[in-house]
Amino acid sequence: MKTLSKSTLFTLALVLGAASAQHAGHDGATFTLSQQGAKFSLQGPAQLASGYTSFTLKNTAQAPFTPVIALLKAGVTDAQVKAALGKLMASHGEDMTAINNIASFVGGSGGVQPGATFEFGANLDAGKYVVFGFGATDDGKALYDVGQYGTFTVSSAKSGVTAPKAAVQATLQDYKVVLPASIKAGKLTWQVSNKGAETHHLMLMRIADGKTMKDVEAFFKSENPEQAGPPPFEDVGGLETVSKGRGAFVNFDLKPGSYFAACFLPSATKHAPHFMLGMMTPFEVK
Ligand SMILES: [Cu+2]
């Protein structure tokens, strides 16, 4: 009998693993980013059911992955999406008008490190969706032009999956983040709802021990934050880009301490990031 090579066995294990996951009634959708040299590839299901879906965004590439998922308005083409994203990049991320006109953001992550995975869930309407990495390579190529771009369709058939019960409600408004003043430590499911008119995200920052919200404000108000020393806070996770009327579920595992929740997305009309307009709310984890 011919011996199977190691790589054949590995491939076989992947195929069997995928099959058993499907047969076990796996109800989520996994999108995996891989990399070969300067080219990326984004693999995932072509079709999903509508209703609640949990997404797993997996980074097997060597660079951080910033995946975002959006529902396209009927008839919008990939070329139109890329043109709108091009305008957003040309404005250094400040003008979301073109992309907001054709797409409704469902959620995503601001940074999945190599080898890491990000999970979130959302209610999906039927339609055509895009999933893409936002940003540029070191030599200035848009990530969606080097393979970090994919599409999938959501049918009108229902997934039948119910959304998880959230322990924390966080509401995004123009321009306010509303959430409980005190949250229990440990892994909790958060429901993030965008009740504003603009596109928002939710970023969670832990304030350094011994520092306060006053230090955070002073840091942001300093003339040159890059030279003001290390920030008095650290990024502990978040949920990327959710359009008006949408919401998502995400788990955060926070240790005790002082935190703030903020939105750093830009207001094109007010020429300021949302946190400068009030979307920055302190909270305690106990
Ligand atoms: Cu915002």
Task: Give the DSSP per-residue string, 7-35.
Answer: HHHHHHHHHHHHHHHHHTT--SEEEEEEE
pLDDT at position 12, please?
40
In the reported structure, the alpha carbon of residue 269 is separated from the centroid of ligand 1 by a whole-number distance in angstroms of: 13
pLDDT at residue 3 in the model: 40
pLDDT for residue 221: 87
The rounded average pLDDT for each run of 10 residues, N- to C-terminus, in the chain (286 residues) is 41 38 58 95 96 96 95 97 94 90 96 96 97 90 95 94 95 97 98 96 97 93 76 95 96 97 89 93 98
Q: How far is the CA of 203 from the centre of ligand 1 (A)?
A: 10
CATH number of 168-285: 2.60.40.420
Domain 28-158: CATH superfamily, name plus number? Cupredoxins -  blue copper proteins (2.60.40.420)
Alpha carbons 95 and 58: distance in angstroms, whole number: 28
- Span from the CA of 200 to the centroid of ligand 1 (angstroms): 4
Q: How far is the CA of 74 from the centre of ligand 1 (A)?
A: 25
Distance 19 CA to ligand 1 centre (A): 40
For the chain, give every domain's residue range: 28-158, 168-285
CA nearest 242: which of 95, 128, 108?
Answer: 108
Specify the pTM: 0.87
**DSSP class of 276:** G
Alpha-carbon dihedral angle through residues 276, 138, 113, 232, given to the nearest 10 degrees:
-40
Whether 168-285 and 28-158 are alike in CATH topology: the answer is yes
Tell me what pLDDT residue 268 has: 75
